[in-house]
Structure 1
């Protein structure tokens, strides 16, 4: 049985990459700008005397390419892409945000339910007029 691609896994982004897609994959994974990631990588290479380069190539050979279906989804819906980047960066914060949104929706639904179920003569009149 084939498993669907994971949204929380690191993938190479060869479509937007320059060499092997490692920097663009890191940018996609973290939500940082790809140019900033490339500048940080070049700075790391210069400061380390080139000892970071093997890590780059190892990551390029080991990591999987970004599945086509994920790339197509990300192109269509930028908000969806930002959500999953947030999940990867801080799952706990994302869960808190979702719980907060659900509490807000629940409160609003309770207000609507209360308004509809209480005896509201003007609402009853309006409904009767619509019939």
Structure 2
């Protein structure tokens, strides 16, 4: 499966998919485990226990999820850092927002220093020397 063009791609690729690569029966439990970032045996155990107590609900629910959920694309994330970022957005949005604010503050500080240098007389003097060297 090829990746979608960036303009059509969802900004957050961290969604619920069936993980057929790691799944045993349709990949529903593996997909839920992947989405929740837990081991798949935990979800499988919950489904088996749920089957003993609520078998019709679990059977119908599993079948519906198998039918509704799309298979997980192979290259869902471009890099490991992108995967970590989007998982943190889904699981810890407050911490992710705080981290982004800190990064933007740092970028603003660096850009302010650059702007101060470009607007300074020192920059103008260096530019004039560079122009003289070219002649």
**Structure of larger gyration radius:** 2
| 1:22 has 2:28 as partner | yes
The answer to whether the 8 Å contact 1:22/1:60 transfers is: no
Deviation at 1:41?
Answer: 3.2
Partners of 1:56 and 1:126 lie apart in 2 by 78
The structure whose residues are more often helix, as a share, is 1
- Counterparts of residues 1-131 of structure 1 (less than 5 Å): 7-32=13-38, 36-38=39-41, 40-44=42-46, 50-51=52-53, 54-55=57-58, 58-59=61-62, 61-62=64-65, 63-66=68-71, 68=73, 71-74=74-77, 76-120=78-122, 123-124=126-127, 127-128=130-131, 131=134
Deviation track 1:50-105 (CA, whole Å, cap 9, x = no partner) reads 3376537614532412353xx3233x422222221111112232222222211111
Deviation at 1:45?
Answer: 5.7
TM-score (norm 2): 0.64
Aligned CA RMSD, in angstroms, stands at 3.4
Tell me: CA distance 1:123–1:55, structure 2 relative to 1, closer, same or farther (3 Å): farther
TM-score (norm 1): 0.66
